[in-house]
Amino acid sequence: MTPTIRMAADPAGAAAAAAKAVLDVVRAAIAEHGSATVALAGGGTPALLYRNLAMRGGGGARWDRVEFFFGDERCVPPRSPDSNFLLAKEALFTPLGIEPARVHRIEGEVEPPAEAAERYAGTLRRHFGVEVPRLDLVLLGMGVDGHTASLFPGSAALLEKSRWVVAVQAPSGIRPVDRVTLTLPLLNRANTVLFLVSGEAKQPAVAAVLGDGRADTQLPAARVSPQGRLLWFLDRAAAGRLCP
């Protein structure tokens, strides 16, 4: 899948452009089949995107027709500052008045993490049935090592062909260690995958994934190649030499 790459001067510009794309995808999905399914990204970068969406009052989209899922979650309670759910709740769900029944979080607090993963697979099965879920939109970030969701370089989870959700451990130096993540079969089934990446520290990984040579598939982000559209939103610092 050839990615569509959009660059902006700074993180706020990249987030604003990504927010517009999110609105377009959500509106189109609702127009096409009456609802939209969106898997949210974790980490810190998406906060600007979520706040931009909320600031626009949701941009006139029918958010009451959107079901929210998560690409990954840290194995922490939902009130932990490390929780991807908490970030989305504070920056997006609460400001937009999203009903809790339409937010399907990964229960990171459930022990052991494998049980949390199994429960989330059950949540997905209940919503999508037994076929591999085709999400309308998957939002992703990328770490400086090229990880995405909680798929880390060298992880056995990258080879997963059947399970939709697995428990993993982050490599040393990345905390929280225990996580639950969607797998590539599910991410790559999405109608649209949107990466939002900013900051100079990400430049080498961006170049390795999107540079003019062959993508370095050692990097998990390079293995995200959806059946639908692949969009990358970058600020100038992360884009580096990709910038015209």
Cβ contact 209:215 at 8 Å: yes
Cβ contact 233:195 at 8 Å: yes
Does 41 contact ligand 6PG by CB under 6 A? yes
Q: State which of residues 4, 10, 44, 64 lies at the interface with ligand 6PG (CB under 6 A).
A: 44
Block residue for tokens 């999110």 = 22
Q: What is the DSSP letter of 126?
A: H
Smallest separation (angstroms) from ligand 6PG to the CB of 140:
6
- What single letter denotes the amino acid at residue 23? L
- According to DSSP, the residues that pair with 229 across neighbouring strands are 192
Q: State which of residues 18, 22, 26, 42 lies at the interface with ligand 6PG (CB under 6 A).
A: 42
- Report the site for ligand 6PG in 108-147 (rule: CB under 6 A): 141-143, 147
Nearest to 68 by CA among 44, 45, 88: 88
Does 43 contact ligand 6PG by CB under 6 A? yes
Cβ contact 195:140 at 8 Å: yes
Give the residue with the Cβ less far from ligand 6PG, 72 or 136. 72
Does 83 contact ligand 6PG by CB under 6 A? no
Does 72 contact ligand 6PG by CB under 6 A? yes
Name the 3-class secondary structure at 159.
helix
Does 148 contact ligand 6PG by CB under 6 A? yes
Name the site residues for ligand 6PG (rule: CB under 6 A): 41-45, 71-72, 84, 141-143, 147-150
